[in-house]
Structure 1
Amino acid sequence: MALLNLVAVVAVPFRQTVRHHSEGQFFTPYLMTAGLAAAVLSLFLAVAMRRRKRAAWIFNFGLGGLTFLTYALALGVPGADHYNRHVFNYFSAVLTGLFMLCLVVGRKEFTSKGDRSNPWMAAATFVAGLLLGGLVGSLLVDANNSLSGAGFGDRFGYAIARMITVTPSDRVMDVIDVPNWVNTFINAMGAVLFLLVLYVAFRSPRGKELLTPEDETRLRELLAKQGERDSLGYFATRRDKAVIFSPSGKAAVTYRVVGGVSLASGDPIGDPEAWPGAIELWLAEAREHAWAPAVTGASEEAGMIYARHGLDALELGDEAIVELDEFSMEGRAMRVVRQAYNRVKRAGYTVRIRRHEDIPEQEMVELLNRADHWRDGQTERGFSMALGRLGDPADGRCVMLECHDGDGELRALLSFVPWGEKGLSLDLMRRDRESENGLVEFMVIELLEKGRKELQLERVSLNFAMFRSVFERGSRLGAGPVLRLWRSILGFFSRWWQIESLYRANAKYRPIWEPRYLLFEKSSELPRIGIANARAEGFITAPSLPALFRRRHRRPAVPSAPPPAPAAEGDGKG
């Protein structure tokens, strides 16, 4: 029906025919009005019903049922011969009746719940938008009216009528005459209000439940048993995520709802044999609320299990992992790294490596102040590969690297989260912009060379290199034209988003590259998932509603932990 309405909007003969059949003694099928508003409404309802939203079913059943009842009464009431003699009216009534029959038969399929506040929020949006549009419209009419005698009520009513019905009342035409652009602007405000009300009425719940102290305790218990499986496991303890445990309690999926997308990150936590139970519950909740399920940064092992539950995979890039017993500064391939390391060392820089729990409270406060001072912007970035709470007392096993210059002045910080008992995963990088070039590389090499002895480490996970394979294969001899073009495009965008530079910065350590995947259910939802992922990682900031309209009910955080410190731009793995 949305398609037919759109065709009617652009095809004049068809539009005239439909509008002729919508007047007088003719009926048209449900929602067929040959208008742009009906096309938009039909499209919204189609999308909402495709997501099996209960609210869309109720809306269609109410409006469609009223339409069908009107047709049945008009065709069945004695004396209404002027309706009965048109065959097309019976055709419209049958089509509408069949649609209602389909709704009744398929009613159990529409199980996706909406937010209980949606109807009230939609009504409030409509009233507030109408008042605002009426005020703006009345000001425009007052400033551009070529006639006299119109009071505020006349101007306000004219604007409201234009927004709702497009055509104003004949009563005010004697006192109001404005240019066409004013009418067009008021009509546009009405269209925007109509779209906004539809969005608010049918939007999915936002997913307000976050980690409780009990949830975090259970996650840490699972990490203590199975934390070595995934380098991103510790990031599951972010307190802006929600969690679903398997029926046995031996596995869990952590996620955040962003823009109608239930976005999980990394692999499920816990025993892989219990992963399917947690995944099934997570997918069931997503479908119950019409959320699009997606996973960012999953490993190949987890990707295969998610695939068995109907999710498809797209390779995002590779994670750089260095095995300490295989790392060496010797050889020609490490000459550039060796020279940079020696240059910084000769300048008098030194690195101190400590667990967070070994740092006195006053020193940690000073480190946090320095980290905030070096922050590049105010936007918090990081979701799947960043913790976002530097210095939290609950993260005592995290490792801090402090780099001082020859005068003992602090110049850079690196923070790593635990990866099982013998591994670390990079969380945060901040440094003084006026410090020596190559300072971060110097600190990483110090950790790789001393970590095995001082911290009993075996492996370290560094940055995540997005589309790493494109840069690697695209630069080889014999690379195809499509691959070279794709590499050129990514190289162009690397001027702003450090896509290629992150790959080059990590390749110098000669790491093991572990692929990471984006998992999704439907290809048509990829744009929506991409925007949700960018919002979660902090690359896109959505405008927030005033506090009066917010309805967030956060669960309390761990009592011993202070509020999370904002992460710096560029924190985490890439």
Structure 2
Amino acid sequence: MTPQQSALIPSQRDPRRSALPSPGPRLRARAATATVWYLRLLAVLNIVAVVSLPFREEVHEHNAGTFFTPYLATAGLVSAALALFLAVVMRRRKRAAWVFNLLLAGPLFALYVLALTQDGYQDHVFNWLSATLTGLFVAALLVGRREFNAIGDRSNPKLALAVGAGGLLVSGTLGTLLVNATNKVSDASLLDKIAYTLLRGVSVGPLADRVAAVHAPRWVDITINVLMAATFLLVLYACFRAPRGAALLGPDDERRLRGLLAKHGERDSLGYFALRRDKAAIFSPTGKAAVTYRVVGGVSLASGDPIGDPEAWPGAIDAWLAEARRHAWTPAVMGAGEEAGTIYARHGLDALELGDEAIVEVPDFSLEGRAMRVVRQAHNRVRRAGYTVRIRRHEDIADDEMALLVERADAWRDGATERGFSMALGRLGDPDDGRCVMLECRDADDVPRALLSFVPWGEDGLSLDLMRRDRDCENGLMEFMVVELLLRAGEVGARRVSLNFAMFRSVFERGARLGAGPVLRLWRSVLTFFSRWWQIESLYRANAKYRPVWEPRFLLFAKSSDIPRIGLASARAEGFLTPPALPSFTRRKESAEDTAPAGADSAS
């Protein structure tokens, strides 16, 4: 038997590839999962104990005298919040969460074991049950320790300390003021009120009743407990938040990406947007492909297809997913094409069709025919009004003229936030983008009224980047400019043009057809309703008039439960949401993040 033949026999292949997973990894995974479910169960039980008086009194009774309860069972909102938050971060396999639980549960279990050797504790079956459950939790932590390998941000301890101090000061002050205003016992000192507030923040049970000089109403106790629970949640978030992903696109990464685009840039119309400098790039082991992404709200958000040779895409995707696991980021891809979506799906991601990209093949475009009558009439009307369009590469525009165009584009922007992430470059007029194409529209008085900017798509394609116009200009000016580009695309050597992305296009198209089902019609009605604010249908109609070829684009995600989180991260990345940034406690070097366009947010 030749070596080549023997290599094909499964039993003689690398055992790491052919053998089934050993019991060790399976046991570790199950132990790690068991810790998560324990914390979830304790969170539910604590919440039930807070709202159920008989159950709460039972728990408090077992926490008093010679009784004790399992780890984190205290019948308080703080314990419920702690258990729930720890369940979330433990599910993400955070190493810091594992250490936190072990430091709390380990000594507690040792204390329980010591207590069971003393008289008065051994006669209660519930004590043995509590010690057993706590011990099993600690054992599961130890068995599954290698599963918790996701790292956190180095600035987390300092941030958690600052948030904890500030939150305790605010919630403690508010609680003390409430106690002072509602205390039914006279002559209580300020120290008594502060002690009562702090004890009530831990539990709504009899713990704070030891302060005899204070007796506050029940609603005050619950309010203080809720405030402390909220403070504790903020501290936990600051302690366990994901790293920010500060390794943004550097000059060397950009040079390598431009090299890959020069060889394979014709594959994806969104490829050039990978050069946004608020993204990071991770390359395949061969360096022939890369995935560009940005970390927003703990979501590693990639956009478009991987850059480079499709044969090397799996290596780049593996590296990106490994990076996400190492930092406990949620992986997601916005706007992947069908080919890339298939490969992402092979790596364990699910796909959801977002909509379609409108691509116009220039040789097939014509204004002739009844179907193009509306576009033709609009084009002729604007042209008769004296408007003209000039088409140039950015590199052919003088610096002072480009600066004026950028100034006008900023003035014409709708709002103060620069929007765009997956289908926008976000840096009009940058000297490195000389191959981009600018369309400048002037009125009959030679006054600039609108502009369009397109990025290169391979050697003979263009992809829409920016649309800006004067709000007082002629109606239909954008349609006029697009038609001018399609009719004169040969001036810049373009044979295909990618226009806007239409979300849920198939719903509008199929939902209006004869015989559409009730679910599809209902879905179309919902989207039509929301189009009043978000222009979902109007954007589809605006693209459909050019008779484009529709290319589907997909959202890729690991778990369906992550979709709301991914949606929020996408809205932040695109500039639709701009939450206040948390303070930074680490000194970082000046990078492209410092010069990102307005609305760009790389915080996690």
Shorter-chain TM-score above 0.5: yes
TM-score scaled by structure 2? 0.87
Match of 2:31 in 1: none
Match of 1:571 in 2: none
Q: Where in structure 2 are the equivalents of 1:466-485 lying within 5 Å?
A: 466-485=503-522
CA contact (8 A) 1:122 1:198 kept: yes
CA–CA distance in structure 2, aligned partners of residues 554 and 473 of structure 1:
52
Match of 1:31 in 2: 72
CA–CA distance in structure 1, aligned partners of residues 57 and 171 of structure 2:
30
Q: Does the alignment pair 1:57 with 2:92?
A: no
CA–CA distance in structure 2, aligned partners of residues 179 and 114 of structure 1:
41
CA contact (8 A) 1:133 1:159 kept: no
Q: Does the alignment pair 1:120 with 2:158?
A: yes
Call closer, same or farther: CA 1:95–1:138 in 2, change over 3 Å: closer
Call closer, same or farther: CA 1:105–1:148 in 2, change over 3 Å: closer
CA–CA distance in structure 2, aligned partners of residues 229 and 555 of structure 1:
34
Using the TM superposition, give the Cα deviation of residue 129 of structure 1 relative to its aligned residue in structure 2, in angstroms.
1.4
Using the TM superposition, give the Cα deviation of residue 377 of structure 1 relative to its aligned residue in structure 2, in angstroms.
0.6
SS at match of 1:418: strand
Match of 2:344 in 1: 306
Residue of 356, 376, 397 corresponding to 2:414 = 376
CA–CA distance in structure 2, aligned partners of residues 39 and 530 of structure 1:
27
CA contact (8 A) 1:121 1:201 kept: yes
Q: Does the alignment pair 1:69 with 2:104?
A: no
CA–CA distance in structure 2, aligned partners of residues 368 and 565 of structure 1:
13
Using the TM superposition, give the Cα deviation of residue 117 of structure 1 relative to its aligned residue in structure 2, in angstroms.
2.3
CA–CA distance in structure 2, aligned partners of residues 99 and 180 of structure 1:
34
- Kindly provide the CA deviation profile for residues 8-57 of structure 1, in whole angstroms up to 9, marking residues without a partner as x: 33444333333322222222222222333222211111111111111111
Residue of 406, 409, 416 corresponding to 2:454 = 416
CA contact (8 A) 2:78 2:201 kept: no
Call closer, same or farther: CA 1:171–1:46 in 2, change over 3 Å: closer
CA contact (8 A) 1:390 1:565 kept: no
Match of 1:526 in 2: 563
CA–CA distance in structure 2, aligned partners of residues 524 and 132 of structure 1:
34
CA–CA distance in structure 2, aligned partners of residues 448 and 293 of structure 1:
37
CA–CA distance in structure 1, aligned partners of residues 68 and 304 of structure 2:
55
Using the TM superposition, give the Cα deviation of residue 67 of structure 1 relative to its aligned residue in structure 2, in angstroms.
1.4
Q: Does the alignment pair 1:3 with 2:47?
A: no
Using the TM superposition, give the Cα deviation of residue 91 of structure 1 relative to its aligned residue in structure 2, in angstroms.
2.2
CA–CA distance in structure 2, aligned partners of residues 466 and 389 of structure 1:
24
SS at match of 2:364: coil
Aligned partner letter, 1:446: E
Q: Does the alignment pair 1:91 with 2:120?
A: no
CA–CA distance in structure 1, aligned partners of residues 103 and 537 of structure 2:
55
Q: Does the alignment pair 1:326 with 2:364?
A: yes
CA–CA distance in structure 1, aligned partners of residues 128 and 211 of structure 2:
40
Once superposed, what is the RMSD of the aligned Cα atoms?
A: 2.4
Match of 2:535 in 1: 498
Call closer, same or farther: CA 1:300–1:552 in 2, change over 3 Å: farther
Using the TM superposition, give the Cα deviation of residue 92 of structure 1 relative to its aligned residue in structure 2, in angstroms.
1.9
Q: Does the alignment pair 1:210 with 2:248?
A: yes
Q: Where in structure 2 are the equivalents of 1:23-422 lying within 5 Å?
A: 23-76=64-117, 80-138=118-176, 159-164=197-202, 174=213, 184-422=222-460
Match of 2:580 in 1: 543
Q: Does the alignment pair 1:16 with 2:41?
A: no
Using the TM superposition, give the Cα deviation of residue 4 of structure 1 relative to its aligned residue in structure 2, in angstroms.
2.6
Q: Does the alignment pair 1:486 with 2:523?
A: yes
Aligned partner letter, 2:67: F
SS at match of 1:247: coil
240-249 or 178-187, which moves further after superposition?
178-187
Using the TM superposition, give the Cα deviation of residue 116 of structure 1 relative to its aligned residue in structure 2, in angstroms.
2.3
CA contact (8 A) 1:134 1:157 kept: no
CA–CA distance in structure 2, aligned partners of residues 93 and 297 of structure 1:
51
CA–CA distance in structure 2, aligned partners of residues 148 and 447 of structure 1:
82
